[in-house]
């Protein structure tokens, strides 16, 4: 991407942003952006435990402080670790922000964002950005001072706080970076963050959109300010073609109508790409013979070196994740992949050298770009680009495509990185792709056997453990004897008894006889004196749920009452188990489960927190209060009071009850015709019977209002007809 040589100077912004001055059209305007903070996780910093933790962190060396990052998951963060993260980030801001590397600062800011400590995330960024701006930091890790660009998660933290002032401030940092950065490498991140700040301002306005209050109007003013002051500065040609009001109205439609939550992210960035607010690097910097895989303009990110062009498309692919826009992500990958000799990823015969044309306006064909180079397709794709594509596929649960792409990469002789393997192995376990799990197992085992570096060894140990977990789901023969036990005996990884028995329980869960497999593992645990940990209990709960064992309730009570441990997923599994054993539970067991639900979720939170388990909870409560089985056994009649919960298949009828009143008169007028034409035809008579059960005659009044009693009877007839017709109305 060609650097923008801008003659115009950006307005300097005070750190507090109490007032922002604009000189458009020679008129002096003063905007006062609002800051409306949202609730963050509560952390009490005055407790003795927190002060003791802060003191311990202050004694850590710089190397050990950096290694603490690896104790936390970014993709599946445990909320119980919020206090520790708060203490770590606070220690970084107060004492270490000038000493640690920029990479470490960025990762700690990302960790704070994942932990929903958004104020700390912004504080970390601004603290280091101010230091890099004044040039008081010297880097020793080959990262230039100007490379501390604004990341997308920093912008999202400002949005989470509904802070348009911070969004404007971050936009100013992006423009300064685009003007002054000595390296082209990080310009992609700044360009994406600049337009992201504009989009997030409109998202803040949509939060207050119904009230049309002062916050709504101010957020739109702040969005206009970013567009007029910063986006015009960087993209003057695109700015001239689209007025401020047209741009805001278009983006508002993406936010309000074309998406749910953040699903309009892909639409917005595609709009920016089409209108020229994001420039393709190859449009301005590609030289002759450059295919986008060269490293002359590349930067180093996690996973290796990546060209700026591939980073640009990786950023576009990342915008497809929230809305599960798999097709758009694959098209972006096709665009960059065509220059690397890769045919369409979206088809099922992919990843060979191709001869297709990217765009009709591009005269350069892939054959010319490939030249005499080796045509192994996937070798030229950076790991970061592949990771972003697989991340989108994982979010959309497209495990089949993940497995397909991974096999193509292995076919071309590409050695996958650990970050890519972490996604591939999850999909391999879900699809029982034993070949991929074995490939990862072999790669990690060989690397550990060669005596790799300490940092590489930690990553390969993680890869080996993940591969073993995937193998335990694939039902490979002699799992323990050929894979688990040798790694334990050779000390290739830090294999605790907990990990060992968890792998055996996972293997037993997917076996043909999970009950005996679980009993055998418990017997061996008892012989070795291994206690029941949280992970082991979770595995056992899943096994007992699968076989509907009465031991599940005993295990739950033992874990919560005697061991003092609890996981929300255990309560969900307990409700599912109770629903499957509905008529085998005692009155006391039903009461205990209902009390547990109320204890965990409370009375007001049950409807929202239970989610898809509301039906199971309602039926359990109905059985507890009315004992329908006992009443029917004694009187041969069900209780007079019926359950208030409805089958999820008729949810759409409750949300739109008018849809059941369509074409009533038409059906009545043709009733005699249908009856006369079904005489002697059993198939047509059965079809007519199903159709008659689906009619809502009597369920609605002439003006379309629903009669509760008649409507409930109609719903019962409809469900009965659906069950007889395999849930397909004809």
DSSP 75-90: SS--GGGHHHHHHHHH
Task: Answer yes or no: is 699 within a domain.
Answer: yes
48 and 70 assigned to the same domain: yes
pLDDT tens-place string over residues 274-298: 999 998 765 434 333 344 444 444 5
Predicted local confidence at residue 197, as pLDDT: 95
Note whether 142 and 52 are same-domain residues.
yes
Domain contains 272: no
How much of the chain is helix, strand and coil, in % rounded to 5?
65, 0, 35
Six-digit token string for 292: 């986008």
pLDDT of residue 642: 77
pTM exceeding the 0.85 threshold for the entire prediction: no
**245 inside domain:** yes
Picking from 214, 240, 261, the residue at the C-terminal end of a domain is 261
Give the model confidence (pLDDT) of 463-489 as tens digits: 999 999 999 999 899 999 999 999 999
Output 13-21 pairs: Cβ under 8 A, ≥24 positions apart.
13/168, 13/169, 13/172, 15/126, 15/130, 15/169, 17/165, 17/166, 17/168, 17/169, 20/168, 20/225
24 and 167 together in one domain: yes
* Confidence band of 339 (pLDDT split at 50, 70, 90): confident
Query: Same domain for 76 and 121?
Result: yes
The verdict on residue 270 lying in a domain is no
Output 536 or 264, whichever has higher pLDDT: 536
Give me the chain's average pLDDT, please: 78
Specify whether 71 is located in the same domain as 211. no
pLDDT in tens, 566-590: 998 999 999 999 999 998 999 999 9
What single string gives the DSSP state of each residue in 99-127? Answer: TS-HHHHHHHHHHHHHTT-HHHHHHHHHH
pLDDT at 129: 86
- Identify the residue with better confidence: 121 or 372: 121
In percent, how much of the chain has pLDDT > 90? 47
18/125: higher pLDDT: 125
- Note whether residue 580 is domain-resident: no
Q: How confident is the model at residue 98 (pLDDT cuts 50, 70, 90)?
A: confident
Task: Compute the average pLDDT of residues 708-720.
Answer: 68
pLDDT tens across 504-556, in order? 999 999 999 999 999 999 999 999 999 999 999 999 999 999 999 999 999 99
For the segment 115-121, the average pLDDT, to the nearest whole number, is: 94
Q: What is the pLDDT of residue 559?
A: 96
Same domain, 121 and 168: no
Task: Report the residue count for the chain.
Answer: 730
| Domain tally, the chain | 3
Residue 457 falls inside a structural domain: no
125 plus 200 within the same structural domain: no
How far is 394 from 423, CA to CA, in rounded Å?
Answer: 7
Position 86 in a domain: yes
Residues 89, 180, single domain; the answer is no
167 and 249 together in one domain: yes
Indicate if the pLDDT at residue 137 is higher than 60.
Answer: no
Q: Please give the Cα distance from 611 to 600 (Å, whole number).
A: 14
Q: Which of 142-151, 352-361, 388-397, 527-536 has the lowest mean pLDDT?
A: 352-361
pLDDT range class, residue 354, cuts 50, 70, 90: very low
> What is the reported pLDDT for 277?
93
**Phi, psi of 256, deg, nearest 5:** -95, -35
Q: Which residues pair with 22 in a beta bridge?
A: 29
Q: Is the pLDDT of residue 27 over 50?
A: no
Tokens of 303: 């996973």
Residue 89 belongs to what domain range? Answer: 39-149
Lowest mean pLDDT among 45-49, 119-123, 277-281, 284-288: 284-288
How many C-alpha atoms does 301 have within 13 Å on its Cβ side?
A: 26
Same domain, 31 and 53: no
CA distances 116 to 149, 159, 581, Å, are: 21, 12, 39
In a domain, 228, yes or no: yes
84-103 mean pLDDT? 91
User: Do 26 and 85 fall within a single domain?
Assistant: no
**Among the three residues 149, 172, 195, which one is the final residue of a domain in this structure?**
149
Give me the pLDDT at residue 727, please. 43
What does the pLDDT read at residue 79?
A: 86
Arithmetic mean of pLDDT, 613-629: 88
Choose the weakest-confidence range: 158-162, 451-455, 672-676, 694-698: 672-676
pLDDT (mean) for 80-84 = 91
Domain boundary among 212, 241, 261: 261
Q: What is the model's pLDDT at position 287?
A: 38
Indicate if 55 and 23 belong to the same structural domain: no
pLDDT digits over 420-479, tens only? 999 999 999 999 999 999 999 999 999 888 766 666 788 899 999 999 999 999 989 999
Q: Residue 395 — very low, low, confident or very high, per pLDDT cuts 50/70/90?
A: very high
**Which residue would you say has higher pLDDT here, 417 or 363?**
417
């Amino acid at each position: 991407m060609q650097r923008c040589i801008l003659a115009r100077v950006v307005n300097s912004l005070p750190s507090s942003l109490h007032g922002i001055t604009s000189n458009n059209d020679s008129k002096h305007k003063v905007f006062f952006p609002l800051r409306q903070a949202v609730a963050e996780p509560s952390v009490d910093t005055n407790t003795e435990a927190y002060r003791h933790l802060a003191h311990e962190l202050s004694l850590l060396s710089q190397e050990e402080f950096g290694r603490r990052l690896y104790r936390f998951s970014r993709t599946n963060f445990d909320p119980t670790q919020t206090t520790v993260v708060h203490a770590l980030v606070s220690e970084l801001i107060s004492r270490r922000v000038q000493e640690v590397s920029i990479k470490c600062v960025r990762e700690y800011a990302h960790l704070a964002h994942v932990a929903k400590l958004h104020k700390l995330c912004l504080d970390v960024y601004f603290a280091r950005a101010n230091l890099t701006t004044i040039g008081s930091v010297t880097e020793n890790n080959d990262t230039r001072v100007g490379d501390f660009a604004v990341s997308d998660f920093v912008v999202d933290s400002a949005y989470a706080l509904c802070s348009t002032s911070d969004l404007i401030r971050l936009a100013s940092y992006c423009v300064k970076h685009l003007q002054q950065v000595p390296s082209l490498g990080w310009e992609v991140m700044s360009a994406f963050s600049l337009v992201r700040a504009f989009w997030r301002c409109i998202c803040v306005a949509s939060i207050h959109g119904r009230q049309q209050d002062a916050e709504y109007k101010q957020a739109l003013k702040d969005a206009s300010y970013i567009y007029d002051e910063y986006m015009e500065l960087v993209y003057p040609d695109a700015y001239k073609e689209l007025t401020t009001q047209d741009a805001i109205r278009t983006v508002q439609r993406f936010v309000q109508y074309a998406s749910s939550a953040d699903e309009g992210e892909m639409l917005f960035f595609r709009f920016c790409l089409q209108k020229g607010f994001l420039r393709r690097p190859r449009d301005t910097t590609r030289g002759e013979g450059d295919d986008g895989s060269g490293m002359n303009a590349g930067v180093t990110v996690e996973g290796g070196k990546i060209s700026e062009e591939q980073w640009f498309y990786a950023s576009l692919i990342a915008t497809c994740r929230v809305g599960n826009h798999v097709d758009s992500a694959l098209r972006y990958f096709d665009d960059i992949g065509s220059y690397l000799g890769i045919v369409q990823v979206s088809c099922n015969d992919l990843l060979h050298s191709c001869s297709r044309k990217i765009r009709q306006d591009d005269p350069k064909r892939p054959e010319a770009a490939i030249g005499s180079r080796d045509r192994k397709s996937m070798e030229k794709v950076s790991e970061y680009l592949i990771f972003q594509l697989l991340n989108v596929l994982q979010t959309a649960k497209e495990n089949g495509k993940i497995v397909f792409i991974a096999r193509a990469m292995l076919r071309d002789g590409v050695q996958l990185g650990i970050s890519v393997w972490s996604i591939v192995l999850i999909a391999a376990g879900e699809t029982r792709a034993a070949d991929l799990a074995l490939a990862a197992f072999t790669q990690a085992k060989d690397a550990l056997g060669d005596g790799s570096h300490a940092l590489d060894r930690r990553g390969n140990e993680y890869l080996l453990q993940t591969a073993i977990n995937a193998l335990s789901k694939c039902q490979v023969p002699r799992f323990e004897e050929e894979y688990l036990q040798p790694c334990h005996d050779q000390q290739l990884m830090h294999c605790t008894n907990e990990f060992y028995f968890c792998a055996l329980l996972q293997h037993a869960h997917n076996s043909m006889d999970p009950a005996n497999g679980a009993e055998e593992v418990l017997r061996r645990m008892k012989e070795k004196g291994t206690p029941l940990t949280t992970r082991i209990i979770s595995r056992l709960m899943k096994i007992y749920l699968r076989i509907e064992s009465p031991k599940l309730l005993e295990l739950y009570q033992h874990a919560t009452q005697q061991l003092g441990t609890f996981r929300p997923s255990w309560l969900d599994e307990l409700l599912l188990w109770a629903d499957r054993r509905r008529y085998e539970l005692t009155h006391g067991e039903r009461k205990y489960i209902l009390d547990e639900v109320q204890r965990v979720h409370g009375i007001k939170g049950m409807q929202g927190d239970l989610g898809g388990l509301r039906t199971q909870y309602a039926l359990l409560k109905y059985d507890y209060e009315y004992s329908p089985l006992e009443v029917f056994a004694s009187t041969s009649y069900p209780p007079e009071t019926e359950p208030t919960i409805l089958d999820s298949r008729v949810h759409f009828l409750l949300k739109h009850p008018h849809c059941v009143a369509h074409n009533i008169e038409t059906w009545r007028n043709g009733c005699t015709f249908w009856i006369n034409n079904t005489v002697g035809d059993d198939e047509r008579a059965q079809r007519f019977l199903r159709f008659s059960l689906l009619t809502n005659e009597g369920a609605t009044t002439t003006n379309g209002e629903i009669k509760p009693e008649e409507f409930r009877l109609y719903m019962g007839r409809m469900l009965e007809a659906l069950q007889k017709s395999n849930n397909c109305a004809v």
